[in-house]
Amino acid sequence: MKEGNEKEWVKRLMNDMKKLENAHQAKVPQQHELMNVLTEFKNQRKKAWKRELTIFILTALTILATYFVVSLKMPAVFLWVQILSIITIPIIYIAEKKRRKGLNEVSDDGF
């Protein structure tokens, strides 16, 4: 009697396992879908790389210009550069924050 119960229990267990397996079948993506996702990712990375390169070059030029102005002892120009940077940095920060919010990226607000 015990053996019959065990066989029935194993049979039900196997049946339930097959039901679970069938219910959780993952859809295998097609090749063109994968290629579209990969192409989109590459385009996003290329755009980000260009943006980061532009910011790097502008920062380097700003540092170089500041060094040049200080070395030539032109305080008026130096003050104007400082004032313009104080005005533009918050604008750049707000624009970047809006852009990230539009992309649903995780952002670090420092809080």
- Report domain extents, the chain: 25-103
**Amino acid symbol at 50:** K
At 57 the pLDDT is 94
Ranges of beta strands (E only) in the chain are none
Q: Tens-of-pLDDT digits for all 111 residues of the chain?
A: 466 677 888 888 888 888 887 776 777 788 888 899 999 999 999 998 998 999 899 989 988 887 887 778 877 877 787 888 889 888 988 888 888 887 765 555 554
Query: Within 10 Å of residue 65's Cβ, how many Cβ atoms?
Result: 13
At 20 the pLDDT is 81
At 111 the pLDDT is 43
